[in-house]
Amino acid sequence: MKKYVLPLLLTCIATQAAEAENIVRWAVAADIPTLDPDAFASTTALTFQNHIYEALLQRDNDLKLQPTLATRWEFINDTTLRFYLRQGVKFQNGDDFDSSDVVASIARVTDPDSGIRANASTIKDAVAVDKYTVDIHLKQKSGIALNELSGVMMMDKEWMTQHNALKPTSMSQGTEGYATNNTNGTGPFMLVSRQRESQMVLKKNPTWWNKDHSEGNVDQIIFKPITSDATRLSGILAKEYDLVTSVPLQDIDRLRKDNTIQTLVSPSLRVDFLTFNLRDTLNAGNVDGKNPLKDLRVRQALMMAVNRQAISQKIMRDMTQVANTYLAPQIPGYDAANAIKLDYDPVKAKALLAEAGYGKGFKLAFDCVEGSYMNAPQWCQAVQSYWAKIGVTATLTMHTNSVYNQITDNGKTDIAVLGWANLPIMDAYSISVQLLHTNDNTGFGMFNIPRYSNKQVDQLIEASIPELDDKKRTDMLRQEINLAQADLPYMPMHYEPVVWVENKNLTLKQSPDNVVRLWYARVNQN
Amino acid sequence: MVSYIIKRLLQMIGLMLAVAFISFSMFQYLGDPINNMLPESATQQERNDLRMKLGLGDPMLTQFGHFIVRICHGDFGISYYNQVDVFHLIMERLPATLELVIVAVAISLLVGFPLGVWSAISKNRLLLGLVQLLSLIGVSLPSFLIGILLIIVFSVYLGIFPSSGRGATTHFGLWSTGLLSIGGWKSIVLPALSLSLFMITLIMRLVRSEMLEVMRTDYIKFAKARGLHKASIYYRHALRNALLPVVTIVGLQIGGLIAFAIVTETVFQWPGMGLLFIQAINNVDIPVISAYLIFIALIFIVINTLVDLLYYLIDPRMKKS
């Protein structure tokens, strides 16, 4: 027996020493389906992949675009961006990073099978000039190419060739790809192990180019998807995690009482909207052969009838703010001076309805979705009852995400719910092109559920796209969004809160894009 | 015997086809996975292209036909969401679920049997009443609630067991097990316990009633009259004869446990097939849902057929009919 004691003791000491590493156990609500950065468009997937892969330029902790794998860039003509690459950067398998990797990565992201091709819509191709210089050609003159490129991860050409992964994994290939479960980036962390739906382990990349200037000191990340809210909450309380980035709002008060953890809550970039059906017919039935929602006064009345302040306080637990603009303040194009001024006033709302000729009220089909937007079922119900008070009867139906998408796609709704964060490009371009431009089946107005159409708005959006002067471009978008806000095709509700819970020992800045950047994080051992 | 087995096999195939068809037709109403798969900025053309590629525009019968043909080649397709081979995905999850079910069955047997025997022979009315009351609670509480309660007590307050996950696993080719490490055992205790609670109660009550019945028979009375040792009467003579119906029920319950582990797996984030299924439903991952249902149906049908065959072997009267 005795001869086992010493080795056992030594093992204990050894494991103790290993635990002295700075480990961050990070729990989220859902797993990342694939590690292939070009396969699947999701902010959460990108958030995780960002720890392994890097782009030519990237947003820092303050959401400013910073040089990453490129040191600088310039437009050499209207459709060509020249990038000067950082030298001495190595991939995690030891390969050098150079222009051939950029060319291969750009070809990969713009491949017809790429799942995030739409997030690189302006990019045509890349041509190497020399070993550390690359020209990226754009499809047309565009002011958002840099924003888009900040989401294009750089992969190793030799590694992709070796593992037959030059094309992104996709449904059409009919097989899974090497890059689905294996990674080789230039980023601050490298993948140690992956067990789907269970956990992923990342460790510090010892050869990361920026390690000497990095303020972070995290050695290891253990990423755990925990689907059930209650289980995740128990895990927080049992101190099984150091960072939880999806916490149900109703549990925050309880967590705040625990003094070993800190709760970070702030409004995000995502504005939650209700959409008004502006087609000729209402799904719930027209009144006197007309769609009442086409009357601006009716839409204004509907907005004034809802006490959004109360919803933000009670249902969103006072963890966010009412949104009176279509954009979050951090998005270029935001204009506080032109905020919509339709505060809660049920008396005036009723008067406006009467003025428009609908004093007796009318019926609406109201479709709400579960699981997509924070507490949406609850605030949909609240809106429904506020409208009932001014005589508007909305028939509220809850849907699951997949069914809901079909309903909104086909316009089979009068009032729908929609959230828009303008990510990943973080620019008013996103909401303008997708929500405010007339839906013309060519890619404009894909999420224009109301079928809103204003020629002036369309013209300003189209004029802004090829504008390379950022100030002029933002100005056009600002004008256009102000015009649209006055037309009120969408009713802004509030910003979705970002809620993180972290161990007191962890220092990590919360950002409104809800992206975790753990290479900036510090763990204080004590 | 051979003709009986062939008949059963044909029945199995028919049943499987029926299950496959019903499940497949149900998914036509689940919605469309396209929006979950493409970024917000995708164009209508890109949406239509993907829909075409996945064959979602085809008539339902055509889709079903393709599906059956592929299954017969052992190809369950690619998961829309995870973008990996579905068969591989299920095989990756199967060990976790089977391990959970086996441990849950073991716990149920180890606890349920002695409790059942004890409650059949005990004279302590107070304690008996308490156990009966507890067993009633065990049957009536929904398993997700039991799971949460176990987590609150053993993970949050006592901090003995982890609240979720499977702990460290060891891999042997396709198979993986968590039962070779302390962490793995610690992780399995709570989910297995919450899954087994219903079965413990079931076994306990069944053993008790069977025992009570056997105890009333003449040969037990004679054994008592002969002055045999009490333990020998209870465990050698009475329990043995009370065993057969219990074994049958346990056998049938195993299929149910595998299928209904969904709730327990969701609460404890147990990376088994149930969790995979829930996730697939959320994402309208039709290949995974269909494959899962077919797997579960297969497990049920195989277990039931085996039980039938066992009867055929045990009971000579069946051979004549």
Closest Cα to residue A446, out of A457, A433, A458, A456? Answer: A433
The dihedral over CA atoms of A165, A169, A172, A173, expressed in degrees to the nearest 10, equals: 40
Instruction: Please give the Cα distance from A29 to B278 (Å, whole number).
Output: 13
Nearest CA in chain B to A420: B40
Q: How confident is the model at residue A86, as a pLDDT?
A: 96
Report in angstroms the alpha-carbon separations of B212 from B121, B122, B128: 8, 11, 14
Rounded CA gap, A230 and B266, in Å?
10
- Mean pLDDT across the stretch A227-242? 89
Per-residue pLDDT reduced to its tens digit, A289-343 = 899 999 999 999 999 999 999 999 999 999 999 999 999 999 999 999 999 999 9
Burial class of residue B181 in the structure, from the number of CB atoms within 10 Å of its CB (0-12 exposed, 13-18 middle, 19+ buried): middle
Task: State how far the Cα of A200 lies from the Cα of A34, in Å rounded to an integer.
Answer: 12
Number of other residues whose CB lies within 10 A of the CB of residue B74: 7
Integer Rg of chain B from CA:
24
DSSP 8-state secondary structure symbol assigned to residue A129: E
Tell which B residues from 242 to 301 touch A, by Cβ distance under 8 Å.
266-269, 271, 275-276, 278-279, 282-284
pLDDT at residue A357, as a whole number: 93
Q: Distance (Å, rounded) from C-alpha B220 to C-alpha B222?
A: 5
Q: Which residue has the higher pLDDT, A441 or A26?
A: A26
Which of the two residues, A444 and A451, has the higher pLDDT score? A451
Of the spans A42-46, A375-379, B223-227, which averages the highest pLDDT?
A375-379
Residues 155-214 of B with CB under 8 A from A: 155-156, 159, 162-166, 169
| Residue A8 burial (10 A CB sphere; 0-12, 13-18, 19+) | exposed
> pLDDT confidence of A184, banded at 50, 70, 90?
very high
Is the pLDDT at A1 greater than 50? The verdict is no
pLDDT score recorded for residue A297: 96
Q: Which residues of A touch B163 (CB under 8 A)?
A: 231, 234-235, 238, 240
Per-residue pLDDT at A11: 45
> What pLDDT sits at residue A13?
43
| pLDDT tops 80 at residue A509 | yes
Residues of A in contact with B78 (CB under 8 A): 171, 174-176
A76 pLDDT more than 90: yes
Instruction: Check: CB of residue A329 under 8 Å from CB of residue A336.
Output: yes
Which of A196, A231, A402 is nearest residue B284 as measured by Cβ atoms? A402
Mutate to test the interface with A, among B47, B78, B79, B83 (most CBs of A within 10 A): B83
Residues of A in contact with B50 (CB under 8 A): 171
Rounded to whole angstroms, the Cα distance separating A207 from B271 reads 33
Q: Which two tokens stand for residue A484?
A: 């649209």
In angstroms and rounded to an integer, the radius of gyration of the C-alpha atoms of chain A is 25
Q: How far apart are CA B84 and CA B78, in angstroms?
A: 5
Please state, in angstroms and rounded to a whole number, the distance separating the CA atoms of residues A319 and A435.
Answer: 26
* pLDDT score recorded for residue B229: 84
Q: Is the pLDDT of residue A12 over 50?
A: no
Q: Which residues of B touch A121 (CB under 8 A)?
A: 41
Report yes or no: B266 and B101 within 8 Å, Cβ to Cβ: no
Task: Give the residue ranges of chain B where pLDDT is below 70.
Answer: 27-29, 31, 36, 39-41, 311, 313-321
Minimal C-alpha gap between B36 and chain A (Å): 8
Exposure string of A435-448, with b = 16+ CB inside 10 Å and e = fewer, is bbbebeeebbbbbb
* CB within 8 Å: A118 and B50: no
Nearest to A402 among B33, B165, B166 (CB): B33
Q: In sequence order, what are the beta bridge partners of A399?
A: A369
Name the amino acid, one letter, at B269. Answer: Q
- Rounded distance between C-alpha atoms, residue A178 and residue A386, angstroms: 53
pLDDT tier at A174, thresholds 50, 70, 90: low
CA A60 to chain centre: 15
CA angle centred on A405, ends A404 and A408, rounded to 5°: 85
Measured between alpha carbons, how far is A131 from A101 in angstroms, rounded to an integer?
10
Q: What is the pLDDT of residue A3?
A: 46
Give the contacts of B83 (CB within 8 A, at least 6 positions apart).
A33, A34, A36, A39, A40, A169, A170, A171, A176, A177, A180
Which residue is it, tokens 């509907």? A302
**Which percentage of chain A shows pLDDT scores above 90?**
68
Q: Which residues contact A178 (CB under 8 A, 6 or more apart)?
A: A163, A164, A165
The average pLDDT across A212-230 equals 91
Question: What is the pLDDT confidence band of residue A20, given thresholds at 50, 70 and 90?
Answer: low
Nearest CA in chain A to B52: A172
Opening angle at CA A310, ends A404 and A227, nearest 5: 45
> Is the backbone peptide bond immediately before A424 cis, with ω within 30 degrees of 0?
yes
User: Which of B36, B41, B164 is facing A121, going by the closest CB pair?
Assistant: B41
In chain A, % of residues over pLDDT 70: 94
Task: Give A474 or B174, the one with higher predicted confidence.
Answer: A474
Q: Per the CB < 8 Å rule, is B82 touching A33?
A: yes
Mean pLDDT across the stretch A374-384? 95
Q: Which of A43, A119, A234, A434 to mutate to test the interface with B (most CBs of B within 10 A)?
A: A234
| Dihedral sign (CA B86, B91, B92, B98) | positive
Q: Which tokens go with A153?
A: 């991860």
Residue, of B312 and A84, whose pLDDT is higher: A84
pLDDT, residue B299, reads 83
- Indicate the pLDDT class of residue A205, thresholds 50, 70 and 90: very high
Per the CB < 8 A criterion, the answer to whether A202 and A189 are in contact is yes
Chain A positions touching B169 (Cβ under 8 A) are: 195
Which residues lie across from A499 on neighbouring strands?
Answer: A265
Residue B181 to chain A, least CA–CA distance (Å): 15
> Looking at residue A6, what is its pLDDT?
45
Helices (H), chain B: 2-26, 34-37, 44-54, 60-72, 86-121, 125-140, 143-150, 182-215, 218-225, 230-231, 239-268, 273-282, 286-314, 317-320
A18 pLDDT tier (thresholds 50, 70, 90): very low
d(CA B123, CA B206): 19
**Tokens, residue B24:** 């497949």
* pLDDT over 50 at A15, yes or no: no
Query: What whole-number distance in Å separates Cα of residue A415 and Cα of residue A282?
Result: 10
Q: What is the pLDDT of residues A111-167, one digit of tens each?
A: 988 878 878 889 999 999 999 999 999 999 998 999 999 999 999 999 999 998 898
Nearest C-alpha in A relative to B278 = A227
Once rounded to an integer, what is the mean pLDDT over residues A62-90? Answer: 94
